[in-house]
Amino acid sequence: MAGLREIPCIIKDIAEERVLMESLIENLHRKDLTDFERENAIHELWTNKEALGFKTTSELANAMGVPSQNVENDIDAWEFRHEEGGIPPSTPTYIIARGKGLPVEERKTIIEKVEKGDYQAQEAYTAIKVLRKAPDFIKKELLKSKSHLTPKMAETIVEKLPNEEEQNLVLEEIKCQRLTEDEVENRVREIQRAKEMGEPLRKEMGVQEGIIYTVGEYECPHCERHYLIKCDGKRDWVE
């Protein structure tokens, strides 16, 4: 088809059990494989490591010319997909592998949020980092399907406020007042200054008559309805 009678080529005499590996190496360097396909191929190589003469993932990685961590991530992601099921082939390997060590349900929830578009890659990384050290009430809120608590907010709270009472205070303000990420940063600084000065950590909300304020928000566990509490500036509930 190319109109050539001769081409430069390399002819290899390869044992049958190494054909898969040679094909995989070629495709890896051409970047023709999806994450899902690569995981399957590397898992098959790892399953046949004795026949191929490998003992460790490092030896396999060296033979393929890729970092050892990449091979370990592919094997871990393959195992998680097949042990738990329901993980879409489109889910990137790095998202699955980054959650290694987390409880299964937490790991699956992060994957679901990425698939739904709720989290970008960096947000998923931040959420996973927070889940490794956050108290249960932060984890629960972060993993909710609809939450005003973003991974960055959670990271700010957990890293800068070691006291759980202070963490919970900011979390409640996020839920009730729908604070932005910048406002959370400012609120955390206010709490840190208040502690240094021995002042109250809570701040009173300044209200003005004639303006409607959203001062509360919650989901009822009994009727499963979502409620907003609003005030008209005269300390009368209007909704």
pLDDT digits (tens, 9 = 90+) for 164-180: 999 998 998 888 778 89
For the segment 177-187, the average pLDDT, to the nearest whole number, is: 89
The count of structural domains within the chain is 2
Which residue range is the domain that position 217 belongs to? 206-239
Q: Give a yes or no: residue 236 inside a domain.
A: yes
Q: Give a yes or no: residue 50 inside a domain.
A: yes
The model's pTM: 0.73
- Across the chain, which distance is largest between two alpha carbons, in Å? 91
d(CA 98, CA 77): 9
User: Residue 56: its pLDDT value, please?
Assistant: 94
Q: How many CA atoms lie within 13 A of 190 on its CB side?
A: 14
Q: Give a yes or no: residue 232 inside a domain.
A: yes
Task: Among 77, 98, 119, give the residue marking a domain's end.
Answer: 98
pLDDT over 90 at 130, yes or no: yes
pLDDT over 90 at 201, yes or no: no
Task: Among 98, 121, 146, give the residue marking a domain's end.
Answer: 98
User: Residue 45: its pLDDT value, please?
Assistant: 87
pLDDT over 90 at 131, yes or no: yes
User: Residue 135: its pLDDT value, please?
Assistant: 94
- Among 41-45, 64-68, 205-209, whose mean pLDDT is lowest? 205-209
Query: Residues 98, 100, 106, 109: is their CA dihedral positive or negative?
Result: positive
pLDDT over 70 at 52, yes or no: yes
208 by Cβ neighbours in 10 Å (0-12 / 13-18 / 19+) ranks as: exposed
For the segment 4-11, the average pLDDT, to the nearest whole number, is: 90
Pick the most confident of 17-21, 135-139, 145-149.
135-139
Which is more confidently placed, 227 or 171? Answer: 171
Q: Give a yes or no: residue 36 inside a domain.
A: yes
Q: Give a yes or no: residue 224 inside a domain.
A: yes
Spatial neighbors of 206 by CB under 8 A, at least 6 apart, are none
Q: How confident is the model at residue 22 (pLDDT cuts 50, 70, 90)?
A: confident
Task: Among 68, 98, 128, give the residue marking a domain's end.
Answer: 98
